[in-house]
Structure 1
């Protein structure tokens, strides 16, 4: 199947690029509500990919709560049929919050997604993400297991980004993570300002590679910030429901992980847990396909 890669810069300018966004609630746009629907960083970025006044063709496949399995089994086939020039693949936080977390399975699935999209000429956009335990300010025995998992996910994403020549954005740390104005009330999803920050940073990277032709998205929010009352209402309704769903799935195992964490700490053997995680990550990285596809947008 011929890829949609542009033959040269003139061809790039001749038509509007096609952009597909795969992933979970971050890419769906949770935290950036416009006219009763989630917009998000990917939709904002799409506005700056074409020439001035010409928005890129954009299709959002991302769904809140998606796991790597969902991206692999459902979103990727639909995106491949769409044949995008650019495809963002950002997922993994939900996997770290599930009792079924398996870094080897995640690595294999994301490798296959990246290989398939790159194989038809799509240029990938990827990002490493903040540790959810840190974002939620969980106690150390609860936070450490999640931190290990997120570090492993980010390591896999880094490896795949290098392997497939992805446009990679580092979102795991830095001042933007600590800036509360970037985040919504749940502290896990960016607010409008945060989504705009992500879109602007991706746009900067794409401009540098000649893959974006339009203006960068604005940095200042256009929607009024939610009031303190609105935040409290959200936390008491949708936020509580979200926590309840996650607790039903993760809490029993997380408490077990926390118990193991405390037990190893008391015995002075905490390094063993790090060693186990490192071995699992090593196996996951060793499972990645050895040769990346050659066809890439702009080459």
Structure 2
């Protein structure tokens, strides 16, 4: 009997940023893999830091399907919200194709919604609210498509794990080891409830001591500075425009219009997918996904 095959798709969260081990990265997916079965598990982590939904669709999905997985995790979307090119219609279409291709191959699908980066980073309200709207739109799409494709979905967009600073790394954007372990524990419980995890649950307690204050400052001065520099050339100009729009609407007392506009865009994106189903398709979703490689 072959080992169970688990393939993880996504961005830096799934790649394991914030959970360094032995000169590399581990992360929640690797911790989860160890408890999926009593016997061996063939685990492949295809997640890449900085990946957007386009990267998952065009690069990671074809590689995942070639591995013929039993379980696929798809956790992505935050990086889309941090780009000036953010388009909820495109995000929805890509995720629908990715989810459909995995489910169409008979793989169990694991998804998660995530907190908005503005709140996690502690940005000023005028900057955080536009990002929050984008992340809520992504989460709305993820919720609906997870249900549509029969995925096991973890609600990770709120709760104590978001507000507990002990669970987050020094960059304030990625979980630390304790946070990655909590995600792994929660995913294991969800899978076990449906008979898809039969091995021991991951430990919630860290294996390594928490980084010292000096180590956290070094991380912020190196990786953190680099992250800010990269985002400044892409997101920051547009984010300042969004913030100015936020302040104008707040001064006029019309801020609710921005919330309604974002919610309507997410609903329209999902409605467009449903309308597309009623039209004859040129090729099945799975075939279309493979051609992107």
Deviation at 1:279, TM superposition (A): 2.1
Residue 136, structure 1, aligned to residue 142, structure 2: no
Show the counterpart of 2:291: none
Residue 125, structure 1, aligned to residue 110, structure 2: yes
Cα displacement string for residues 159-186 of structure 1 (whole angstroms, at most 9, x for unaligned residues):
0111111111111000111111111001
Gaps of 5+ in 2: 279-283, 286-293
- Within 5 Å, give how 1:263-282 maps onto structure 2: 263-282=248-267
SS at match of 2:262: helix
Residue 25, structure 1, aligned to residue 15, structure 2: no
SS at match of 1:158: helix
CA contact (8 A) 1:76 1:113 kept: yes
Show the counterpart of 1:182: 167
Residue 38, structure 1, aligned to residue 25, structure 2: yes
Cα distance in structure 1, aligned partners of 2:192 and 2:2: 17
TM-score, normalisation: structure 1: 0.90
Residue 215, structure 1, aligned to residue 200, structure 2: yes
Candidates 184, 192, 197, aligned match of 2:177: 192
Cα distance in structure 2, aligned partners of 1:169 and 1:185: 24
Deviation at 1:286, TM superposition (A): 0.9
Residue 114, structure 1, aligned to residue 104, structure 2: no
SS at match of 2:72: strand
Show the counterpart of 2:224: 239
CA contact (8 A) 1:48 1:55 kept: no
- Within 5 Å, give how 1:44-63 maps onto structure 2: 44-51=31-38, 54-63=39-48
Deviation at 1:15, TM superposition (A): 4.2
SS at match of 1:151: helix
Cα distance in structure 1, aligned partners of 2:272 and 2:174: 31
CA contact (8 A) 1:46 1:56 kept: yes
The alignment yields a C-alpha RMSD, in angstroms, of 1.4
Residue 95, structure 1, aligned to residue 80, structure 2: yes
SS at match of 2:139: helix
Structure 1 stretches of at least 4 aligned residues deviating more than 6 Å after TM superposition = none
Gaps of 5+ in 1: 1-13, 294-299
Of 19-28 and 259-268, deviating more is 259-268
Cα distance in structure 2, aligned partners of 1:127 and 1:43: 16
Cα distance in structure 2, aligned partners of 1:244 and 1:55: 42
- Within 5 Å, give how 1:78-89 maps onto structure 2: 78-89=63-74
Deviation at 1:35, TM superposition (A): 0.4
Deviation at 1:83, TM superposition (A): 1.1
Deviation at 1:275, TM superposition (A): 2.3
Cα distance in structure 1, aligned partners of 2:166 and 2:246: 33
Candidates 203, 207, 214, aligned match of 1:229: 214
Aligned residues: 278
Cα distance in structure 2, aligned partners of 1:76 and 1:131: 25
Show the counterpart of 2:271: 286
Cα distance in structure 1, aligned partners of 2:225 and 2:40: 37
CA contact (8 A) 1:46 1:55 kept: no
TM-score, normalisation: structure 2: 0.92
SS at match of 1:287: helix
